[in-house]
A = this chain, B = another copy of it.
């Protein structure tokens, strides 16, 4: 069940096949960017690679493999901030976490794939960075683990929420959702008053939440 990372990769032939994993993953990401999760089928993926659809199964055991690999691939886009030994841990964490969120929003399909174990090298490297930044800042167990999970899960949750609305960029739908809410002002007075579905500055909102979290963490150091 579901683990590209736990299986050894197939050893390549003498001169290397024209269709390697990397090409497959790159094409998969392109396809996902274009048409979302529903747009990625093994046949369309093969077509884009000028290959037979069943050929893919030599390099990859599953469609799940492709999805796992594509997901970890985009986490590789997240730049690791410079480690400042003296330094401000909060700016390190903020930089990483903002980059993380930005990468997921650049590939909105990624949020829908988070329901699979994140064991790829890129994800693990970034989580390692996050936790080590907290440790260097002086956090100890059990706050260290709790802090890491809190930050990571906050990013994940935000990515899920934001990419949902981003993927539905149909303005007609947004308006209908707005109407749906405002016509029930008596049920949801606070939500309506605060414009819960409005298109506000999500980056600022996210950063604020991050500040709350880091403030609470700082108190434990």
Taking Cβ atoms with an 8 Å cutoff, the residues of A that contact B are 1-3, 5-6, 111-112, 114-119, 121, 124-125, 127-128, 131-132, 135, 141-150, 152-158, 160-161, 163-165, 167-168, 170, 173, 176-177, 180-181, 187-191, 194-196, 200, 204-206, 208-209, 211-217, 219-220
Contact = CB atoms under 8 A, between A and B. Distances in A.
Judged by DSSP, the binding face of A is helix
A190 B129 CA distance: 9
B153 A187 contact: no
How many copies of this chain are found per oligomer? Answer: 2
B209 A119 contact: no
A208 B141 CA distance: 11
B147 A194 contact: no
- Interface centre among A118, A187, A189, A196, by most B CB within 10 Å? A196
A190 to B, nearest CB: 4
A202 to B, nearest CB: 8
